[in-house]
Amino acid sequence: MNKVALITGSSRGIGRAIALKFAKEDYAVIINGSKESKQLDSLQEEILSLSVPCLKFAGDISDYHVVETLFKEINCQFGRLDVLINNAGVSHIGLFTDMTPEEWTRLLQINFVSVLNTCHLAVPMFVSKKSGRILNISSVWGNCGASCEAVYSGTKGAINSFTKALAKELAPSNIPVNALACGVINTEMNQCFSDEEREALCEEIPMGRMATTEEVADTVFRLCEGSAYLTGQVITFDGGWI
């Protein structure tokens, strides 16, 4: 029987690459986007072409009741969950004082509350069999903060602290919880920068380039397949940048 992995925010970018990586490694995969989209449909088709099961779930996972529905579907179709990858997230660039309460609430809900929601429902499944893996996608800005990304940085810092705390709770049940703090990854999220800005940014990175989504996916997979003794860690993945 296939192991089962849930990857939130997987319609594009890092999440899509992670979903494909797990599928290629013979995992059944649950993919998620906030709404129905051609990207989500095409990802499901690509995964099914690899001859592994794929459950597509379109819904806003910052809503706890939506996540309850998702987990009912997971239990109905698979009856198990082995890996939870919390990848869903949005960014916001601009001065904090220019933000509205609605904007920062949206960031908090999507970037952090969604992680609480999925973990709250996944943990009992993991504890009951004393196995399972949780990997949260974070950011280097959660480690050190970024000007004009104050709330975004705050949400990622919250993920980092939550990762370390939850890891301590779940270690007796042999369930590792880690986070991957990503630097600059070549995704659509960075298309807001001009070619000149992207070039200047790459010059700041000792590796001289952005990471690919496939590199992130490979790292995530290795962390989820490695020793359970590695837990409570926020692992920086930034090419030596920060």
Give residue 194's pLDDT: 78
- Each of the 242 residues of the chain gets a pLDDT tens digit; together they read 899 999 999 999 999 999 999 999 999 999 999 999 999 999 999 999 999 999 999 999 999 999 999 999 999 999 999 999 999 999 999 999 999 999 999 999 999 999 999 999 999 999 999 999 999 999 999 999 999 999 999 999 999 999 999 999 999 999 999 999 999 999 877 766 778 888 898 999 999 999 999 999 999 999 999 999 999 999 999 999 98
Give 117's contacts (C-beta < 8 A, 6+ positions apart).
61, 62, 63, 64, 67
Look up the pTM and report it: 0.95
The residues that are catalytic are 152
**What's the CATH code, domain 4-237?**
3.40.50.720
Q: What are phi and psi of 234, to 5 degrees?
A: -105, 105
CA distance 28 to 77: 11
* Phi-psi map region of 26: left, alpha, beta (phi>0 left; psi -120 to 50 alpha): left
CA distance 214 to 36: 24
Residue in the block written with tokens 């998620």: 32
Task: At 136, list the tokens.
Answer: 């949260």
> What are the residue boundaries of the structural domains of the chain, listed by start?
4-237
Number of C-beta neighbours around residue 238 at 10 A: 19
